[in-house]
A and B are shown apart, each in its own frame.
Chain A
Amino acid sequence: MDKTINQKAWFLVLPVFLVVAFSAVLPLMTVVNYSMQDTFGNNQFFWNGVGWFKELLDPSSDLGERFFASLWRNLFFSAVILAIEVPLGIVVALTMPRQGWQVAACLVIMALPLLIPWNVVGTIWQIFGRPDIGLLGYVLNSIGIDYNYVSNEFDAWATVIAMDVWHWTSLVALLCYAGLKSIPDAYYQAAQIDGASRWAVFTAIQLPKMHRVLLIAVLLRFMDSFMIYTEPFVVTGGGPGNSTTFISIELVKIALGQFDLGKAAALSLVYNLIVLIVCWVFYTVMTNAGADRPVKEGAA
């Protein structure tokens, strides 16, 4: 059979090519280009090969030390907020009403933190936590807890984590709620008939049925918390010292503070790669763990 060959169709993808090239491919290639070179200003560049990458991955160098320190901080931060937000989100979703006007009220209230811009969230918590004028800081100090996120590392961490939990738990809760709502009533009725306890209903029905939305929630929260910048930058500025300096804050310091384009480019490429790998691992592990592939077999 003869096919009509019409190369004009390429013109239809051309706009996409152009947009993607200008918005993603060219900037990425520029970063790749920078990561191989060094500059001392005056727009003069010198070839450095994989030098920056070697330095970055060598913990004994200055750059490597800063990179690994912020990487561990970032991973610890993501682990802590996932460990809090996922169980808390599930509990909130389970306690939300199933019907009536309360549903709409709950959904709106839950969605509020999600609608607030990142830097505003940061500002809210920055003021909220101040010992002199902030409600939280003032109350904590007046009941005898010595709380100051500017000078105390633990307090700074606690504030940043509390802020993230406040900002994002509702996302996990809303996703879980959607998962719970999709469970047919028959499952609960069958569990009643089977004499299942509340805990058995949770482990045998609700948790397995939420598995997919939980996967999405964990992925979204991991990626977002691994890339976190604005809120801790506004609240703590990465301090005290470097205690809340996450990778993105470090990256901005190197790129814009010190104007070390080569180092910053190498760091951002590695950063990007880590996000990709971790997401791929998460996805593969979680989809295989509860694989839901029906196997067509004569069960008769």
Chain B
Amino acid sequence: MARIDLVDLAHSYGGNDADPESFALKPISMTWRQGGAYALLGPSGCGKTTLLNLISGIVTPSRGKILFDGTDITPLSTQKRNIAQVFQFPVIYDTMTVGQNLAFPLKNRGVPKAEIEARVAEIARLLDLTPYLKRKATRLTADAKQKISLGRGLVRSDVAAVLFDEPLTVIDPELKWELRSKLKALHRALDLTMIYVTHDQTEALTFADTVVVMHDGRVVQSGTPAELFDKPAHTFVGYFIGSPGMNIVPAQVRGREARIDGHLIALTRGYDTLPQGATIEIGVRPEFVELTAPAPGLLTAQIERIDDLGRIRFARVKIGEVKFAARVPPGFSVGGSEAGLVFDPTRVHVYADSRLVEGTA
């Protein structure tokens, strides 16, 4: 069990002298506290698996250091790092029974027999594997095999962290929910630091108390699910999280007002010191833009279609050539091809070169 510090950590598969812009993982520094549940969220190729493999020691970083409780473990091999990792596809040892599979990491480290038995029994109970302990592991279904992999990751009580690399990819959708809530329960029961890599925002947001969003080898934001939703630090976070994602529209921003397509939108904060020459955009989640009948003074948009999600309806509209999504209030019936948009000014954020600009009060 440990606090994990990443100090200026970076990795390039092409070697140390490659162009820093081509790094699979650009330099990052962050701290993960003991006992936390973290998710690394991002699309394929964003560097999240690289980061995970750096922490577990499968990959050695080109630069920077990894500290477990203040001790530099960067040069240590995977075996010596005291870390557990669960992979995307189930890994089971064919010749062993389920129980032997679970005991394997402990046996290799010379844990006393009585302790192994107690620990295996506990993990098997938590994962509902008890009836299968004496069975050959090869004869089980994919999700049971993945449970064994999870179990092998969780069986050691002394690990610094348990890393999960998209562990639910091969699991049927209905079992995914179950295993995810099981993992959450295991996290509470076992007090282990868990780091969970996924490209599925639902998985990340339900599992983790801190979600680290990665994009193009960089960490673009790290925060609670609510923070990521309310105040995306980067336009990428805005549209990657949430369904539909945040509306990002080019705008001219001066003082306390933004101008889109010649229309004024009031802002609650002042933006007098925007960087010169930067691309200025405003971002607002579809939940906070309401569709109304067109009226003078309102931004007008062309309605393309209405998505009915059951509990809520979203209109897909166009402002000029820019696509936009807005909430359709209950009871509002859409007539005609044009509609007005009403913004919630407290929810409109300003981005310069894709990064959030904190306005002045």
- Residues of A that sit less than 8 Å from B by CB: 184, 186-187, 189-190, 192-197, 200, 203-205, 207-209, 290, 292-297, 299-300
Taking CB atoms, residues of chain B closer than 8 Å to A207 are 95
Q: Let me know if A299 and B149 touch, CB within 8 A.
A: no
Known: A184-B89, A192-B79. A295 touches B139 (CB 8 A): yes
- Bound-state CA distance A187–B149 (Å) is 11
Give the CA-CA distance A290 to B139 in the complex, in Å.
11
A186/B88 contact (C-beta < 8 A), A194-B108, A200-B108, A209-B94 known: yes
Instruction: Give A205's nearest chain B residue, CB to CB.
Output: B93
What are 8 pairs between A and B in contact, CB < 8 Å?
A197-B108, A200-B108, A208-B93, A290-B94, A290-B95, A293-B139, A295-B140, A299-B129
Kindly report which residue of chain B lies nearest to residue A295, judged by CB atoms.
B139
**Is B235 in contact with chain A by the CB < 8 A criterion?**
no
- Docked-complex contact B138 and A190, CB < 8 angstroms: no
For B146, the closest partner residue in chain A by CB is A299
Q: How far is the CA of A184 from the CA of B89 in the complex (A)?
A: 10
Q: Are B132 and A194 in contact (CB under 8 A)?
A: no
Contact in complex: B108, A294 (CB < 8 Å) = no
B109 within 8 A of A: yes
User: Which B65-90 residues sit within 8 Å CB-CB of chain A?
Assistant: 77-79, 83-85, 87-89
Could you tell me the distance in whole angstroms from the C-beta of B119 to the nearest C-beta in chain A?
14
- Do A204 and B96 have beta carbons less than 8 Å apart? yes
Q: Is the CB of A190 within 8 A of B143?
A: no
Contact B144 A208 (CB under 8 A): no
Q: Known A197-B108, A293-B139; judge A300-B178 contact (CB<8 A).
A: yes
In the bound complex, residues from chain B placing their C-beta under 8 Å from that of A196 are: 104, 108
A293 to B, closest residue via Cβ = B139
Is A193 in contact with B108, judged by CB distance below 8 angstroms? no
The answer on a CB contact under 8 Å between B138 and A187 is: no
- B34-70 interface code vs A (CB 8 A; 1 in, 0 out): 0000000000000000000000111000000000000
Known: A196-B104, A208-B94. 6 other contacts (CB 8 A): A186-B89, A190-B149, A193-B83, A193-B105, A204-B93, A300-B143
Q: Which residues of A contact B85 (CB under 8 A)?
A: 189-190, 193
Q: Does B128 contact A (CB under 8 A)?
A: yes
In the complex, residue of chain B having the shortest beta-carbon distance to the beta carbon of A200: B108
Contact B89 A208 (CB under 8 A): no
